[in-house]
């Protein structure tokens, strides 16, 4: 007897779930909008609503990325291109196939699945059609916030080139499955799939696709960047490189400069283009005075606040870090009035490296020569900000090549050579901006205020 799969939402395109080895028997929610998904999230008790109608979720034990549980399948297709090591940890095809089959079986057993057909890349010539299949409505809403949303016509012809099978409530057996813990994020380029299990932290979804784009774009002569970007009143584009929590989202949300994007971009012969359709902002100590554009999104239905605590009146308390210091907010770019509609800009005139100096050694701002820019880009001196990774509870000095080593599959020189070429071709000015401590190290002074840093930029 064949079980009839019940479906709702926008009709799927030409590629069904069978293409991913899935044979679900439950209800399939195809391409539901965020409002619908948030309603489902509340009904399914995945989260609650704040006094302003914003979805509040908790991610459990994992409140940040899990870098020690991220793997790339080592195979002939990528063997010579991936910079293997502690960051790009190899695993075998057998490990991937075994866990993927377990994830498929797990997802097939769920009474409901949520599918989102989306894009990565605002440049239509470079965009990557993707699909996210998840067991949770709120993770589907997050995906819809964070990636580019196709039109109805585009959905009908959407053929995903990369697919995420997302099973946050499925725990692996580390010993049997050949990994480090019950959590796993595994990318297989030959199968064009990512499998995620054991963690509800939504950032793993967006960062896995970012890692994929960071592999694909350089092969086309384009530079992927862990940066934010905005445009001045005269069309001058600026990009801000930096690790999570160093100020990319905050500094790019400038009332005088329309936003292109807050975290992930590409740079090609036409200029800068966003890889995403939304923002994933840190919420810790958020204030309306210092960050009015971001603060406003926390009152907009459609925003998802992750691990944020509500006060007795149902209002977010952004100073409460009882769950994590890595509290987050996910919202679509449309939530920012002051934005570039097409999510693209021209050739950057200013390239800014954001470094969160935990020792208070670096000056607040420095202008860099091209050679100095290459050095700082390769070395990537900064600090891991508390909460952004599992186990990081206070700032830790680190060297993160390209200001995004956890997401860069290739050798840093690949990205550095592309950056140097782009900077030289466009005569861009390069700057080092310290968003950390400047009057003594962490524990002996306070972190530089956002408004002071912004004043330095505007000067």
Residue 346 scores a pLDDT above 90: yes
Q: Of 200, 265, 328, 422, which residue is the catalytic one?
A: 328
Annotation marks residue 65 as catalytic: yes
pLDDT number for residue 361:
84
User: At residue 358, does pLDDT exceed 90?
Assistant: no
In terms of pLDDT, which residue wins out, 293 or 394? 293
- Residue 124 belongs to a domain: yes
For the cut 50, the answer to whether the pLDDT of residue 322 exceeds it is: yes
Residue where a domain terminates, one of 220, 237, 258: 220
Q: How many domains does the chain have?
A: 2
Examine the fold and report which residue of 220, 249, 266 is the final residue of a domain before the chain moves on.
220
Write down the pLDDT at residue 456.
86
Residues 110 and 257 reside in one and the same domain? no
Alpha helix (H) residue ranges in 231-390: 248-252, 292-297, 370-379
Same domain for 132 and 238, yes or no, is no
How confident is the model at residue 389, as a pLDDT?
Answer: 60
User: What is the average pLDDT value for the chain, to the nearest integer?
Assistant: 93
Residue 292 resides in a domain: no
Task: Out of 66, 208, 249, 327, pick the active-site residue.
Answer: 249
Residues 180 and 229 in one domain: no
Residue partners of 65: CB distance under 8 A and separation at least 6: 201, 203, 204, 207, 388, 389, 390, 406
371 phi and psi, to 5 degrees? -65, -40
| pLDDT band at 385; cut points 50, 70, 90 | low
Residue 249: its pLDDT value, please? 85
pLDDT in tens, 143-202: 999 999 999 999 999 999 999 999 999 999 999 999 999 999 999 999 999 999 999 999
Average pLDDT over residues 205-214: 98
- Residue of 63, 244, 246, 298 marked catalytic: 244
pLDDT for residue 255: 86
- Residue 1: the pLDDT is 38
Q: Mark whether 144 is an active-site residue.
A: no
Question: Does residue 219 surpass a pLDDT of 80?
Answer: yes
**Residue 262: which domain range?**
223-277+338-458
Q: Do 28 and 106 reside in the same domain of the chain?
A: yes
Predicted local confidence at residue 272, as pLDDT: 98
Percent of the chain residues past pLDDT 70, beyond the cut: 96
Across the range 313-330, mean pLDDT stands at 97
- Residue 10 inside a domain? The answer is yes
Q: Which of 65, 158, 339, 376 is catalytic?
A: 65
**Is there a single domain that holds both residue 135 and residue 240?**
no
Give CA angle at 151 (143, 328), nearest 5°: 20
Given a cut of 50, whether residue 341 has pLDDT beyond it is yes
pLDDT tens digits along 407-452: 999 999 999 999 999 999 999 999 999 998 887 777 777 888 888 8
Answer whether residue 450 is part of any domain: yes
Place of tokens 């009709």: 11
- Taking a C-beta distance cutoff of 8 angstroms, is the pair 302, 41 a contact? no
Q: Which of 127, 226, 282, 422 is catalytic?
A: 226
Task: Indicate if 249 belongs to the active site.
Answer: yes
User: 360 Cβ partners below 8 Å, 6+ apart?
Assistant: 436, 437, 438, 439, 440, 441, 442, 444, 445
Options 166, 207, 265, 384, the catalytic residue: 207
**Can you give the CATH number for the domain in which 212 is found?**
3.40.449.10
Q: Higher pLDDT residue, 193 or 25?
A: 193
166: β partners: 134, 196
pLDDT confidence of residue 2: 45
344 classed as catalytic: no
Query: How much is the pLDDT for 384?
Result: 72
Phi/psi of residue 198, nearest 5 degrees? 85, -5
Active-site residue identified among 263, 303, 330, 343: 263
Domain endpoint, select from 178, 202, 220:
220
What's CA 262's distance to the chain center, in Å? 9
Position 6 confidence tier, pLDDT thresholds 50, 70, 90: confident
First-to-last C-alpha distance (Å) of the chain: 71
Q: Domain check: are 140 and 246 in the same one?
A: no
Please report the pLDDT score of residue 392 as a whole number.
Answer: 63
The whole-model pTM stands at 0.93
Active site residue 226: yes
Which of 248, 257, 344, 422 is labelled catalytic?
248
Residue 312 catalytic? no
Q: Which residues contact 3 (CB under 8 A, 6 or more apart)?
A: 25
pLDDT for residue 138? 99
């Amino acid at each position: 007897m064949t079980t009839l799969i019940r479906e709702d939402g926008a009709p799927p395109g030409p590629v069904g779930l069978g293409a991913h080895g899935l044979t679900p028997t439950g209800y399939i929610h195809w391409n539901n909008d965020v409002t619908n998904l948030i309603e489902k999230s509340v009904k399914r008790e995945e989260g609650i609503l704040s006094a302003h109608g914003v979805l509040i979720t908790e991610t459990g034990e994992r409140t940040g990325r899990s870098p020690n549980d991220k793997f790339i399948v080592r195979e002939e297709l990528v063997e010579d291109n991936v910079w293997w090591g502690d960051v790009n940890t190899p695993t075998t095809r057998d490990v991937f196939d075994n866990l993927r089959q377990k994830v498929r079986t797990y997802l097939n057993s769920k009474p409901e699945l949520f599918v989102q057909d989306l894009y990565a890349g605002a440049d239509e010539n470079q965009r990557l059609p993707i699909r996210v299949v998840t067991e949770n409505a709120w993770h589907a809403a997050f995906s819809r916030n964070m990636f580019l949303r196709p039109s109805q016509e585009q959905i009908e012809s959407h053929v995903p080139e990369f697919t995420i099978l997302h099973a946050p409530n499925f725990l692996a057996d580390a010993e049997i499955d050949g990994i480090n813990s019950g959590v796993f994020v595994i990318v297989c380029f030959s199968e064009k799939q990512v499998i995620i299990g054991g963690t509800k932290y939504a950032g793993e979804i967006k960062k896995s696709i970012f890692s994929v784009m960071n592999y694909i774009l350089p092969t086309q002569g384009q530079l992927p960047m862990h940066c934010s970007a905005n445009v001045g009143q005269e069309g001058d584009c600026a990009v801000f490189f930096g690790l999570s929590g160093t100020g990319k989202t905050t500094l790019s949300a400038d009332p005088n400069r329309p936003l292109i994007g807050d975290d992930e971009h590409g740079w090609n012969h036409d200029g800068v283009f966003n890889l995403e359709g939304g923002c994933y902002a840190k919420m810790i100590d958020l204030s309306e005075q210092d960050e009015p554009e971001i603060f406003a999104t926390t009152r907009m239905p459609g925003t998802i606040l992750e691990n944020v605590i509500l006060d007795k009146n149902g209002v977010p308390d952004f100073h409460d870090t009882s769950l994590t210091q890595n509290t987050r907010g996910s919202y679509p770019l449309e939530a920012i009035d002051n934005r570039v509609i097409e999510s693209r800009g021209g050739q950057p005139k200013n390239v800014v490296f954001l470094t969160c100096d935990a020792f208070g050694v670096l000056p607040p701002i420095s202008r860099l020569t091209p050679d100095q820019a290459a050095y700082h880009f390769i070395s990537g001196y900064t600090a891991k900000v508390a909460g952004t990774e599992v186990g990081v509870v206070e700032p830790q000095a680190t060297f993160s090549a390209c200001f995004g080593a956890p997401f860069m599959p290739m050798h840093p020189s690949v990205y550095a050579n592309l950056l140097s070429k782009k900077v030289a071709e466009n005569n861009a000015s390069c700057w080092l901006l310290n968003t950390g401590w400047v009057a003594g190290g962490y524990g002996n002074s306070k972190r530089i205020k956002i408004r002071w840093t912004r004043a330095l930029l505007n000067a």
